[in-house]
Amino acid sequence: MPDYEEFEIATRAVRVGQHRTAEGEHSETIFPTSSYVFASAAQAAARFSGDQPGNIYSRFTNPTVRTFEERLASLEGAERCVATASGMSAILATCAGLLKAGDHIVSSRSIFGTTTVLFSTYLPRFGIETTFVPVANTEAWEAAIRPNTRLLFLETPSNPLTEIADIQQLSALARSKDCVLVVDNCFCTPVLQQPLALGADIVIHSATKYLDGQGRCIGGAVAGDNERVGKEVYGFLRTAGPTMSPFNAWVFLKGLETLPIRMQAHCSSALQLAQWLEKQPLVTRVYHPGLASHPQHDLASRQQTGFGGIVSFELQGGQQQAWKFIDSLRIFSITANLGDAKSTVTHPATTTHGRLSPEQRADTGITDGLVRLAVGLEGVSDLQTDLARGLAALAA
């Protein structure tokens, strides 16, 4: 097998990590087995003691899962990647592997809602506190860091308003304060943004989204160095057990093969729709990093190789008009998932961000008229016609 590391990302997305069996199969194999047979009692002992590498038990060693891990590690430019049962268990395993009671996290405020709940409700029970700051305000990050801060956590672009964190600046800050910088790279994927190359220490994925790409399986991953990810995070995972199943790993492997071309298509359609929405009289504001009107368009252009598939916009008339618009669409699915071939639409104020108080929503800019699109892979003119249908229903 050639050393694929010197190849383009599209080649690595298709090729890295496959270890063919003696059957000569062309597509990757699924290994649905809980445990592995040892040639002798002595070999079993050597595997268990760690003296001899090899498979033991699928909670922590499975060849299909390992193929997915090797391929994603290559795409992110990481020494090591470990797969998890979900994006949330990737975040939990990172915190549990790296932190202890008394430690403190600084996190951007506009993160996935369930991550907010993990940080503000569950981690405090184990003595880990979190301070939330606006993602794009580096001074606020610095001011929030305490002597016991160990981990900085962010998502960029943020959901749903597509604010951009300056990863290079924040990684310099993390280094100067002896903190680990963790970036949830779910929205961009390694195709559009490589946080480790910009100085981050760890990348988190919800494989459920773009890595799968067709809305089928729940999964996650943590990528980074051999010490933190390979020892600390993996150590927690193999003990606590939120492991990726081999079947899901196989689905994600098939997803990775088409990730580069899918991301290009998501980006191109999203930008086209964002530019069109900006010209519509009933739309008061459009949020997409690819628009010249985006306040951080220059930073996004430097940090990302594409602007992603998320477009949010504000309609005149608040919740009533937003709901009417959403209910008038025929192609966009009303569902909270994203990263799917199928385009989706959500009303953040009453769904993903419904648990926030009206004041918190106002703080984070989630107004009642805000609509979020995750642009899929359907024909872009059909999608535009669908959005026009929604706007026409409001004008009627």
Ligand X SMILES: *Cc1c(COP(=O)(O)O)cnc(C)c1O
Q: For ligand X, which residue of 47, 80, 209, 294 counts as binding (CB under 6 A)?
A: 209
Give residue 194's Cα distance to chain centre: 12
Tally DSSP H helices, then E strands, for the chain.
14, 12
Closer to ligand X by CB, 130 or 206: give it.
206
Could you give the string, one character per residue 282-321, with x where binding to ligand X holds by CB under 6 A and - elsewhere?
A: ----------------------------------------
Cβ–Cβ < 8 Å for 75, 211: no
**Considering CB under 6 A, how many residues would be counted as binding ligand X?**
13
Indicate the residue type of 139: E
From 58, 62, 86, 346, residue interacting with ligand X (rule: CB under 6 A):
86
Q: Is 112 in the site for ligand X (CB under 6 A)?
A: yes
376 neighbors 214 (Cβ within 8 angstroms): no
Binding segment toward ligand X, per CB under 6 A, in 59-67, 195-203, 204-212, 368-376: 204-212
Assess 243 for contact with ligand X (CB under 6 A). no
Give the nearest distance from C-beta 11 to ligand X in angstroms.
27
Q: Which of 221/322 has CB closer to ligand X?
A: 221
Separation CA 329–CA 143 (nearest Å): 44
- CA pair distance 128, 120, nearest whole angstrom: 9
Q: Give 245's DSSP letter.
A: P
Q: Closest residue (Cβ) to ligand X?
A: 87
353 lies in the site for ligand X, by CB under 6 A: no
Quote the strand ranges of the chain, DSSP E. 80-84, 104-108, 129-133, 149-155, 180-184, 202-206, 220-224, 283-287, 310-315, 333-334, 344-346, 370-374
Is position 218 an interface residue for ligand X (rule: CB under 6 A)? yes
Q: Interface residues for ligand X in 121-180 (CB under 6 A)?
A: 155
Measured from the CB of residue 391, what is the shortest distance to ligand X in angstroms? 27
Rounded distance between C-alpha atoms, residue 179 and residue 199, angstroms:
12
**Torsion angle (degrees, nearest 10) of CA 236, 242, 246, 251:** -120
87 binds ligand X (CB under 6 A): yes
Q: Which stretch binds ligand X (CB under 6 A): 32-40, 80-88, 302-310, 313-321?
A: 80-88
Positions that interact with ligand X (CB under 6 A): 86-88, 112, 115, 155, 184, 186, 206, 208-209, 218, 220
